[in-house]
Amino acid sequence: MSEITINLKSAIDNSYKVIIENGANQQIPAFLQKSKLGQKYAIITDSKVEKLYGASFARFLKKNGIECELFSFPDGETSKNLKTIENLAAQMIEKSFDRKDAILSLGGGVVGDMSGFLSSIFMRGISYIQIPTTLLAMVDASLGGKTGVDMSEGKNLLGTFHQPKAVFIDPTYLKTLSPKQIRNGLAEVIKCSIIKDEKLFKFIEDNLSKILSLEPKTLNKIIEQTVKIKAKIVEKDEKENEERMLLNYGHTFGHAIEKASEFKLLHGYAISIGMVLANKMAVEKKLLDKKSAERIKKLITKAELPIATMKIPTLKDLASDKKKSAKVINFILPTKIGKAVIYPEKCL
Ligand SMILES: NC(=O)c1ccc[n+]([C@@H]2O[C@H](COP(=O)([O-])OP(=O)(O)OC[C@H]3O[C@@H](n4cnc5c(N)ncnc54)[C@H](O)[C@@H]3O)[C@@H](O)[C@H]2O)c1
Ligand SMILES: [Zn+2]
């Protein structure tokens, strides 16, 4: 008789480093030479980032002895689908990429989710690193290993958990990002501060204009703090159970608002309204004091993010959200600035 153990938990070490520094991408050649993630590298990016940074990044890697090819697709959420994945895979195969190679994801959350997904299935899985270029991707999408694509039936319906081997955050990429996209990412920073870090919230209150004008020290500080918060949450809960659900603060209402706008409203804008609605609920349930709710509303307004919508989603609208569990919706409600709880609410 033979006894076989498939010990999945301890067999895989998914740890990785997140480097946050102006010019962090300069460290990538040395990292790749040392870690030997691949024999050659597919840089995956979108059309906009390709023009701004892709071609020069590929030249820089080649100059430093890294064999690589650049692959891109039209920018925007409408590209985040299986067809684009298939096209990218076909181009990689044509250039003789195989399971000994790896992917470098250079771009916003769309590029990150797609490259992560492609790396998890290409030749049954290869390594990848994240090089986020939007604020939203720096503080959220590039961390935690959630990958995926959209379907016509809804967003992020196909995907995997596949952790990157490293994340290189270079905030200087943000210089070319539109103020609207900066605010979009800032909404997630504000969200993290409300659920976990009162000091960060206060820091944003005191330094908002510096943040919005991309003053390097201030910007780097809020990125670093938010990455720390997300890292701690993901560490505790890699596959989204209890702890990771806290990150959904503002998202239960936010997703419904985003959907109702037919995705014309940016995600961060929708969750800003979602946070205000969640706070209202928290005040009604006597979990949160009115003063804190007002303070949050004031910061969101000052950041020029929205606080209201014409059509407030009902519980029924919310029940059609993909994150519902049976007849109960798990709201994330703050109990004070810096702390939030999971609040299950019956929706029948
Ligand atoms: N995996 C996760 O945990 C997670 C978390 C949050 C969001 N997401 C996903 O992230 C996506 C949204 O990401 P996003 O907001 O970064 O959008 P995005 O990737 O579409 O980027 C927004 C726009 O900015 C452009 N851009 C990127 N970097 C730039 C730069 N430095 N300068 C100028 N323009 C630049 C892009 O080309 C695009 O047009 C969604 O698909 C969402 O589902 C994933
Ligand atoms: Zn979000």
What does the angle CA 15 – CA 20 – CA 21 come to, to the nearest 5 degrees? 145
CB 104 within 8 A of CB 129: yes
Is the Cβ atom of 251 under 6 angstroms away from ligand 1? no
User: How does pLDDT run across 291-340, given as a tens digit for each residue?
Assistant: 999 999 999 999 999 999 888 888 877 876 555 455 789 999 999 999 99
List of residues 6+ apart from 210 with CB closer than 8 A: 218, 219
113 C-beta closer than 6 A to ligand 1: yes
Ligand 1 centroid, distance to 32 Cα (angstroms): 24
Q: State whether 73 and 190 are in the same domain.
A: no
Query: Judging by DSSP bridges, how do beta strands 102-107 and 41-46 pair with one another?
Result: parallel
Q: How many domains does the chain have?
A: 2
- The confidence score (pLDDT) of residue 108 equals 98
Residues carrying an active site annotation: 124, 146, 188, 230, 240, 244, 248, 251, 255, 267
d(CA 150, CA 292): 36
Please report the pLDDT score of residue 175 as a whole number: 98
Q: From 154, 176, 198, give the residue that closes a domain.
A: 176
Give the chain's end-to-end CA distance (angstroms, integer): 54
158 and 214 inside one domain? no
Domain membership flag for residue 5? no
Domain boundary among 141, 176, 211: 176
pLDDT, tens only, 249-270:
999 999 999 999 988 999 999 9
| pLDDT, average across residues 174-185 | 98
Within a 10 A sphere around the Cβ of 93, how many other Cβ atoms?
A: 12
One domain for residues 152 and 276: no
Q: Kindly state whether residues 169 and 184 are assigned to the same domain.
A: no
Dihedral through CA 250, CA 253, CA 255, CA 260, nearest 10? Answer: -140
111, 137: one domain: yes
Domain-ending residue, one of 152, 176, 200? 176
Residue 70 lies in a domain: yes
Model confidence band, residue 20 (pLDDT cutoffs 50, 70, 90): very high
pLDDT band at 234 (very low <50, low <70, confident <90, very high): confident
Collapsing DSSP to helix, strand or coil, 308 comes out as: coil
β partners of residue 169: 20
98 — pLDDT class (breaks 50, 70, 90):
very high
The atom number, within ligand 1, closest to the CA of 185 reads: 15
Q: Which residue in the block uniquely carries the two structure tokens 């995926």?
A: 148
pLDDT of residue 297: 98
Q: What are phi and psi for residue 41, nearest 5 degrees?
A: -125, 135
The answer to whether position 1 is within a domain reads no
CATH, residue 138: 3.40.50.1970
Distance from Cα 255 to the centre of ligand 2, integer Å:
9
**H or E element, residue 334:** strand 328-336
Domain limits for position 165:
11-176
Find the ligand nearest to 248 CA.
2
CB 77 near ligand 1, within 6 Å: yes
The reply to whether 56 and 117 lie within a common domain is yes
Atom of ligand 1 nearest to the CA of 184: 15
Say if 3 falls within a structural domain.
Answer: no
Average pLDDT score over residue span 191-205: 98
List the CATH number of the domain containing 208.
1.20.1090.10
The span from the CA of 187 to the CA of 275, in Å, is 10
Q: Is-contact 200 193, C-beta < 8 A?
A: yes
Residue 2 belongs to a domain: no
For residue 107, how far is its CA from the centre of ligand 1 (angstroms)? Answer: 7
